[in-house]
Amino acid sequence: MEIRDVRHLCRYRYFLQIRIKIKNKSDFELDSEDLNVKNLTYKYFSTVRDRTIMIDLLYRYLKEINENVKQVEKEIDNKYSENEYPKMMDTVPTISKYGSLLLTMEIDDIKRFMNSNKLISYENLAPKEYQSETKEWKRHITKEGNKWIRWILDECPGYSCKCMP
């Protein structure tokens, strides 16, 4: 049950990325009101929030989502420090605490896989291969595997699931 809760927490943190859309919409609304969006800070945003209902709502949404993000990240830090496996995975370059915790929780018990090829096959991260006598085709990975593992690996700079062996 613990793994499921942490998985759910990591997935919820992904959902909170909606704040990027709210920030972009805020920029648009402020720009349409001829307000300075280059130096957009919460202090500035709070002083102009009463210009329109839309700007006020966006400000309140953004403030509430940021509070949720802080709360969720604090909980993720606690879960990260309680578990030894994400710390080992965190030694891989370009992987963050959040990414290593998400990968660890999505993979679950690594000991159930005999080797790395079994894990790649289980998660459907290997490209499809077709053979017919002398011809051979290699296709992209399918979307049948775990979307969270594929997403976090695509988020790591310099790494792409599309080029898995």
Asked if residue 132 belongs to a domain, the reply is no
pLDDT of residue 156: 74
Asked if residue 76 belongs to a domain, the reply is yes
Residue 161 has pLDDT above 60, yes or no: no
Query: 91 and 82 in contact (C-beta within 8 Å)?
Result: no
To the nearest whole percent, how much of the chain has pLDDT over 70?
A: 87
Asked if residue 49 belongs to a domain, the reply is yes
The average confidence (pLDDT) of the chain is 79
Asked if residue 146 belongs to a domain, the reply is no
Q: How confident is the model at residue 164 (pLDDT cuts 50, 70, 90)?
A: very low
pTM of the model: 0.66
- Six-digit token pair at 27? 């920029």
Residue 159 has pLDDT above 60, yes or no: no
3-class DSSP state for residue 31?
A: helix
**Number of separate domains in the chain:** 1
3-class DSSP state for residue 73?
A: helix
Each residue of 37-90: pLDDT tens digit? 666 677 777 777 777 888 888 888 888 998 998 999 899 888 888 888 888 877
Asked if residue 69 belongs to a domain, the reply is yes
> What domain range is 69 assigned to?
1-83
Asked if residue 137 belongs to a domain, the reply is no
Q: What average pLDDT score do residues 121-147 get?
A: 74
Q: How confident is the model at residue 165 (pLDDT cuts 50, 70, 90)?
A: very low
pLDDT of residue 37: 67
Asked if residue 65 belongs to a domain, the reply is yes
- Six-digit token pair at 86? 């994400």
Asked if residue 160 belongs to a domain, the reply is no
Dist. CA 152–CA 132, nearest whole Å: 34
